[in-house]
Amino acid sequence: MENLKGGSRGTIYRRSLVSDRLHYEAFWGSRTKAATARPSCPKRRKRATSATTPPSAGGRPPEGVKDAPSPNSRRVLRSKPKSRVWLFLFLALGLAVSCRTIPPETPVPETFMPETPVPETPVPELPVPEAPVSETPVPELPPPEDEVTTPGQTVEDTLGERAFAIAASLNDSELAGQVIMTAVDGKGRLYDASRNRLRAVKPGAVLLFKPNVDGPKSGIIALNAEIAAYASVPLDSGEDPVLLPPLIAVDHEGGLVHRFGSGVEHLPAPLSYRDIYLRDGKDAALQAIEEDAFRSGNEIAALGFTLNLAPVVEILDDTNKQFLSSRAYGFERDFVVDAAAAFIEGMRRTGVLCVIKHFPGNSNLDPHENLPVLSLSIKVLEDYSAPFAEVIEKAEPSGLMVSHVIVKEWDAERNASLSPTVIQNQIRERLGFSRIIFTDDLAMGAVASVKTEDAAVSAIAAGADMIIAWPSTLLDIHAALLAALKTGSLPRPRLIEAAAHVITEKLRLQGSVPSPEP
């Protein structure tokens, strides 16, 4: 495009889109009506055209047209043939139409609509899980007192006999599953991998952590219901099928150990009750502990939890206060024992079982990362572990957790959780504890020197009743237990005994699982 200037005006020469011939038109001109008026008829257009000097053949203006026209006049272009004018107008009109967009409210022409309407595709229904929650109500049994038929036989004996009968009726895979507590992946619902693991192993207990329960209560309830559906073991009772459900557990100590989100009450730190004890007396502190445990127990029981891995029964001293911090109830032995018993009683009133921990104690080293060692004399060790014996007698907790500490005077070679000497001699015999013995988490650094599968077999063979396994090792641990059962390194009577201890607490909790048919 070439611009020729003359004075304060200019003339633009523009190449036509239709032909190669150059035409120019006056772009800047007078804005007055007289100067800008176009010829209104063919004759006037013809006279105006004839009065205009045509351009030279080379496309340049002739020599006489060098300056711009005067302000009161306007150069008029030589008219093009009518066909080309109409072609130009037609192209301009087509360009304008092609650039125009249809506003949203303009309906689409009917010619663009399909002649036959497309039928609506129905939304596919979600598949029903293979192990849905049973809608058949579990038949209720008479109260335990009515079951005592033999003179001198206690309710505990009756529960134990029924539990042993159920354990003996399980196949090897189900039996091995009952002695495993595992975790799951999922929040609000199980991930497919966890669902498949639960279906394959049917573990005796499932422990939930913050990623599972840090959300709305409705999601926690749904997750626990799905866990129960996939992990329950069907029993042949001779009537309608009934299920042996898993224990669903959580660490709910209070203070530093709180897994839930803001929607679930955060219990005070255990050590904070010592302040009430010192200020207002023991009775006031114990009442506060039991009331808080009862209120919180009701809340977590409504979410589907049946087992609480609490309270800590260790006494604070210089050897463990760096690790335990505010998780223990204090430095005074009597108060620690009574406080733990009050917590257990408050939870039990809501139907939540408790596990005391960590026998016989820990050092200042964190067992999650290191191997704690207790180098104490026999006499000191007995005093050190005495609170466990007293809580067992006062509160009858459903479980006791053994730490991974090495106690040199008891067994200098093995972790307490893997030692027959500690589990059988100290817990079963000296403490007289007959319920579930749990190991601490087998993924901790304190037992890193032992392969996880071997540690699981060793713990059950040593007398533990339930081990804690992470999802990534669940299938391997289950397979290792079955292999040990087949080779005899884990005797079947020992596995039945361990499973029976777990099932006894389920019977105590539910009171609705009938004995299998003989």
Q: How confident is the model at residue 329 (pLDDT cuts 50, 70, 90)?
A: very high
Average pLDDT rounded to a whole number, residues 103-112: 37
Is the pTM above the cut of 0.75? no
Q: Token pair of 142, please?
A: 């008479």
CA distances (Å), 46 to each of 54, 73, 78, 318, in order?
13, 17, 9, 117
Question: What pLDDT digit, counting tens, does each position of 456-500 carry?
Answer: 999 999 999 999 999 999 999 999 999 999 999 999 999 999 999
CA distances (Å), 481 to each of 166, 175, 235, 464, in order?
19, 10, 22, 13
Quote the CA–CA distance of 176 and 160 in Å, as a whole number. Answer: 19
Is 452's pLDDT higher than 90?
yes
Question: What pLDDT digit, counting tens, does each position of 178-236 carry?
Answer: 999 999 999 999 999 999 999 999 999 999 999 999 999 999 999 999 999 999 999 97
Q: Which residues pair with 355 in a beta bridge?
A: 399
Average pLDDT rounded to a whole number, residues 428-436: 96
DSSP 329: -
User: Higher-confidence residue: 357 or 94?
Assistant: 357
Average pLDDT rounded to a whole number, residues 437-455: 93
Would you list the DSSP string of 53-105? PPPPTTSSPPTT--SPPPTT----PPPPPHHHHHHHHHHHHHHHHHHPPPPTT
Average pLDDT rounded to a whole number, residues 431-446: 94
Quote the CA–CA distance of 6 and 296 in Å, as a whole number. Answer: 95
Question: What pLDDT digit, counting tens, does each position of 280-292 carry?
Answer: 999 999 999 999 9
Q: How confident is the model at residue 320 (pLDDT cuts 50, 70, 90)?
A: confident
- Residue 316 in contact with residue 332, Cβ under 8 Å? no
Q: How confident is the model at residue 318 (pLDDT cuts 50, 70, 90)?
A: confident
Is 74's pLDDT higher than 80?
no
Question: What pLDDT digit, counting tens, does each position of 337-390 carry?
Answer: 999 999 999 999 999 999 999 999 887 777 888 888 999 899 989 988 999 999
Dihedral sign of CA atoms 477, 478, 481, 487 in order: negative
pLDDT score of 96: 52
User: Higher-confidence residue: 114 or 257?
Assistant: 257
pLDDT mean across residues, the chain? 79
- Residue 400 in contact with residue 313, Cβ under 8 Å? no
Question: What pLDDT digit, counting tens, does each position of 231-263 carry?
Answer: 999 997 666 678 999 999 999 999 999 999 989
- Residue 73 in contact with residue 35, Cβ under 8 Å? yes
pLDDT score of 422: 97
Question: What pLDDT digit, counting tens, does each position of 33-67 carry?
Answer: 444 444 444 444 444 444 444 444 444 444 444 44
User: Which percentage of the chain shows pLDDT scores above 70?
Assistant: 68
pLDDT score of 419: 97
